[in-house]
Amino acid sequence: MKPFSLLIPDTAFKHPAGRIRTGFYSDVYFSRTQKILEREGRRARVVMQIFCKEHALLCGVQEVLALLKQQKPTGAPLKVRALKDGTGIRPWETVLTLEGEYRDFCTLETLILGILTRRTSIATQMRRLVQAASPKGVIYFGARFDHYLMQEGDGYAVRVGGALASSTPATEYWFGREGTGTIPHGLIAAFQGDTTAAALAFDRHIVSKIKRIVLVDFDNDCVGTALATARVLGRKLWGVRLDTAENLTDRAITRARSRHRGVSPLLIRLVRRALDRAGFARVKIIVSGGFNETRIRDFVRRKVPFDLVGVGSNVHRFRVDFTADVVSVNGRPCAKVGRRFRPNPRLKRVDV
């Protein structure tokens, strides 16, 4: 797959310049290192290389480059070579090199590694889910499972990973798009549990360009509610979403109920069949609720008739760590034992 090519303006990243410059977000030993080198007047022009030890989908490079542009001392020569966001990487492959006076950028190591770790972890896991779901689409509903200040960067990472959309304005902010969503259970509850009344209210007050996608599991009767909603909204209904709890069996399932709890293949087939028979074949089915890579792949293998899958906390369960090493000082090899310079012909020179 080609690297993700959408460029984000440097200003979107909102790096707090003052605090970063004072070392507020840096491991203290880097700040002390900078002080020592400055007071000693020691010139150490180094090459630092950054890598991880996993197969992964690289993400966060644009953000790192914006950080370097902001924090690099005026006039300080810094050579940067990097891979692009969206590039598949191998264990131990060098993804980024920095060449310059060590004291000019040593305090940024903590931030650089943290950015790459967070963004690559999420992009990689999303790519796995997207590949498992293919040719179905994947939507990111994971904002509620992490601190809200993470949303903008996470939204970028899931897009690099192949997500079609995400659920908050913040997760879509870097792209200038709105969040994607359905009708929540809370709105249905506010209408005394009447899903069709909530759907009609949504239709009255929300602009028509927003897709009408209705949750249909509030009464644990996905078939009945899907049909009722389709009848009242008609062609305005774009899709229905199934989100049945994993400890419940929908009332449409009458046999072997314990085998078909939650959003099961059987339930999805029953909803699809009912909609088709009633003349609503164009209505899409979105599924959500505990979907991981294995479960999604199984649904696709069994040709379960869903159109989109919403994923949440599972996106945050994969972790890939990045490491930085100084491997050359003043033009000579110099690295801790066990590490060495690993040239990578795929790296491209980047201006910062």
Q: What is the pLDDT of residues 71-119, one digit of tens each?
A: 988 777 899 999 999 999 999 999 999 999 999 999 999 999 999 999 9
The C-alpha atoms of residue 275 and residue 262 are separated, in whole angstroms, by: 19
Q: To which H or E segment does residue 197 belong?
A: helix 195-205
The C-alpha atoms of residue 68 and residue 70 are separated, in whole angstroms, by: 5
Report residue 49 as tokens. 């290389």
Kindly list the strands in the beta sheet with 212-215, ordered across the sheet, starting from the edge strand earlier in the chain: 165-166, 137-140, 308-311, 284-288, 237-242, 212-215
C-alpha 222 chain-centroid distance: 29
The whole-model pTM stands at 0.92
- Taking residues 228-248, report their average pLDDT: 96
Tell me the HSE value of 155 on the side-chain side, using a 13 A CA sphere: 27
Check pLDDT > 80 for residue 4. Answer: no
Domains and CATH numbers, the chain: 10-121+320-350 (3.20.140.10), 181-311 (3.20.20.70)
Is 92 in contact with 51 (CB distance < 8 Å)? Answer: yes
Report residue 231 as tokens. 């009848």
Q: Is 127 left (phi over 0), alpha (psi -120 to 50) or beta?
A: alpha
Side chain identity, residue 38: E
pLDDT at position 14 is: 87
Report residue 269 as tokens. 């087939």
Backbone angles phi, psi at 251, to 5 degrees: -65, -20
User: pLDDT for 33-62, tens place per residue?
Assistant: 999 999 999 989 999 999 999 999 999 999
pLDDT at position 175 is: 86
